[in-house]
Amino acid sequence: MNPATRALEANRTDKLREMFREHFGTSARIFRAPGRVNLIGEHTDYNDGFVMPVAIDFATWVAGCANETNSIRAHSRQYNETVTLNLDSLEGPPTGHWSDFVRGVVYGLLQAEQKIVGADLLIDGQVPLGSGLSSSAALELATATALQAISHAQLPAIETVKICQNAEHTFVGARCGIMDQFISQFGQAGHALLLDCRSLEPIAVPIPHGVEIVICNTMVKHELASGEYNRRRADCEEGIRILQNFLPGVRALRDVSLADLEAHRTSFPERIYHRCRHVVTENARTQQFADALTRGDLLTVGRLMAESHESLRADYEVSCPELDAMVQSAAHCEGLIGARMTGGGFGGCTVNLVHADCTEAFAKRVAADYFRATTIEPCVYSTTAAQGAGEVNDDATQVRSRGAR
Provide the edge-to-edge strand list for the sheet that holds 390-392.
Answer: 81-86, 71-76, 119-125, 53-66, 29-38, 390-392, 398-401
CA atoms of 225 and 204, how far apart (whole Å): 30
Figure out which of the listed residues 20, 58, 98, 107 binds ligand ADP, where binding follows CB under 6 A: 98
Q: Give the binding site for Mg ion (CB under 5 A).
A: 134, 136
Figure out which of the listed residues 33, 65, 139, 216 binds ligand ADP, where binding follows CB under 6 A: 139
Q: Is 166 a binder of ligand ADP (CB under 6 A)? A: no
Closest approach, Cβ 180 to Mg ion, in A, equals: 6
Q: Is 130 a binder of ligand ADP (CB under 6 A)? A: yes
Q: Is 371 a binder of ligand ADP (CB under 6 A)? A: no
Q: Is 79 a binder of ligand ADP (CB under 6 A)? A: yes
Chain position whose Cβ is nearest to ligand ADP? 125
HSE-CB for 234 with a 13 A CA cutoff: 6
Closest approach, Cβ 368 to ligand ADP, in A, equals: 26
Residues 47-76 within binding reach of ligand ADP (CB under 6 A): 60, 76
180 catalytic per annotation: yes
Figure out which of the listed residues 135, 170, 308, 398 binds ligand ADP, where binding follows CB under 6 A: 135
Q: Is 234 a binder of ligand ADP (CB under 6 A)? A: no
Out of 57, 100, 120, 180, pick the active-site residue.
180
Q: Is 33 a binder of ligand ADP (CB under 6 A)? A: no
98 binds, among Mg ion, ligand ADP, none (CB under 5 to 8 A by kind): ligand ADP
Distance spanning both ends of the chain, measured CA to CA: 23
Given the rule CB under 6 A, which residues bind ligand ADP? 60, 76, 78-79, 98, 101, 123, 125, 129-136, 139
- Which residues are known catalytic residues? 180
